[in-house]
Amino acid sequence: MFPERRLRRLRRRGIRELLSEVHLSKTDLVYPIFIDENIRERVPIATMPGQYRYPVDEVSAVAERISATGVGALLLFGIPACKDAVASSAFSPDGVIQQAIPRIKEAVPEMVVITDVCGCEYTDHGHCGIIGDTPHGRDLLNDPSLELMGKIAVSHANQGADIVAPSCMLDGMVAVIRRSLDRAGHQETLIMSYSTKFASSFYGPFRSAAHSSAVFGDRTTYQLNPANAREAFRESEIDMAEGADILMVKPAGMFLDILAEVVSLGLPVAAYQVSGEYAMIRAAAAQGWIDEKSAIMESLICMKRAGADLIITYFAEEVAGWL
Ligand code: PBG
Q: What is the pLDDT of residue 264?
A: 98
Asked if residue 260 is part of any domain, the answer here is yes
* Residues in contact with 282: Cβ distance below 8 Å, sequence separation at least 6, in sequence order: 48, 49, 50, 292
The end-to-end CA distance of the chain, in Å, is: 38
State the residue range of the domain holding 50.
31-322
Q: What is the pLDDT of residue 300?
A: 98
How far apart are the C-alpha atoms of 320 and 66, rounded to whole Å?
Answer: 9
Asked if residue 6 is part of any domain, the answer here is no
How far, in Å, is the centroid of ligand 1 from the Cα of 206?
Answer: 6
Q: What is the pLDDT of residue 197?
A: 98
Structure confidence by residue, pLDDT tens digits, 137-174: 999 999 999 999 999 999 999 999 999 999 999 999 99
Structure confidence by residue, pLDDT tens digits, 39-80: 999 999 999 999 999 999 999 999 999 999 999 999 999 999
Number of domains comprising the chain: 1
Structure confidence by residue, pLDDT tens digits, 179-221: 999 999 999 999 999 999 999 999 999 999 998 999 999 999 9
Asked if residue 9 is part of any domain, the answer here is no
Q: What is the pLDDT of residue 240?
A: 98
The verdict on the CB of residue 203 being under 6 Å from ligand 1 is yes
Asked if residue 281 is part of any domain, the answer here is yes
SS3 247: strand
Asked if residue 159 is part of any domain, the answer here is yes
In this prediction, residues 229-236 reach a mean pLDDT of: 98
The verdict on the CB of residue 274 being under 6 Å from ligand 1 is yes
Asked if residue 24 is part of any domain, the answer here is no
Model confidence at 120, in pLDDT bands (50, 70, 90)?
Answer: very high
In this prediction, residues 105-129 reach a mean pLDDT of: 97
* Residues in contact with 121: Cβ distance below 8 Å, sequence separation at least 6, in sequence order: 77, 78, 79, 80, 83, 90, 210, 211, 212
Model confidence at 267, in pLDDT bands (50, 70, 90)?
Answer: very high
| pTM (global) more than 0.95 | yes
Q: For the chain, give the percent of residues with pLDDT over 90.
A: 99
CATH number for the domain spanning 275: value is 3.20.20.70
The verdict on the CB of residue 273 being under 6 Å from ligand 1 is no
Closest atom of ligand 1 relative to the 213 alpha carbon: 10
Q: What is the pLDDT of residue 145?
A: 98
Closest atom of ligand 1 relative to the 314 alpha carbon: 15
Asked if residue 284 is part of any domain, the answer here is yes
Which of 254, 274, 311 has the most ligand 1 atoms within 8 A of CB, as the residue to mutate? 274
CB atoms within 10 A of CB 232: 24
Structural Rg of the chain based on CA atoms: 20
Q: What is the pLDDT of residue 50?
A: 98
Closest atom of ligand 1 relative to the 120 alpha carbon: 16
Asked if residue 17 is part of any domain, the answer here is no
